Structure 1
């Protein structure tokens, strides 16, 4: 799967990593619901770092459709709220 991180580019990520990333996504969703700004920021950074750790960068000159779009590392709680689905940022 191809994951786009807004403002950073794309990362190719194996589908098998979604379960691990969903745990962070669930934490992020809970922090957003309670308005925990510092927790939100910490978990968003951890989620994006894990995507980078587990994935391979897609070359900038490659035009591939993104399966998932994640917010930039400096996105606000309100901006991320606009990207959410019922499942959070990630499916499942």
Structure 2
């Protein structure tokens, strides 16, 4: 699966990692619902770091269709709300 982190680029990520990422996604959703800004920021950073750790970066000149688009590391709580689906940022 190809994942884009807005403002950074794309990584190839095995779908087998989605369950692990969903745990962080669930935490992020809970913090957003509570309006926990510091918790939201911390969990967003952890989620993006995990994607970077697990994924293999694609070359900068490669542009493949992204199956998943994640917010930039400096995205606000409101910007992330606009990106959410019923499942959060990570499907499943």
**Corresponding residue pairs, total:** 92
Across the aligned residues of Structure 1 and Structure 2, the Cα RMSD in angstroms comes to 0.4
Other-structure match for 2:30: 30
Shift of 1:63: 1.7
Other-structure match for 2:54: 54
User: Please, what TM-score do these two structures have when normalized by structure 2?
Assistant: 0.99
User: Please, what TM-score do these two structures have when normalized by structure 1?
Assistant: 0.99
List alignment gaps of at least 5 residues for structure 1: none
| CA distance in 1: counterparts of 2:31 and 2:82, whole angstroms | 15
Other-structure match for 1:73: 73
| CA distance in 2: counterparts of 1:26 and 1:82, whole angstroms | 16
List alignment gaps of at least 5 residues for structure 2: none
Shift of 1:25: 0.2
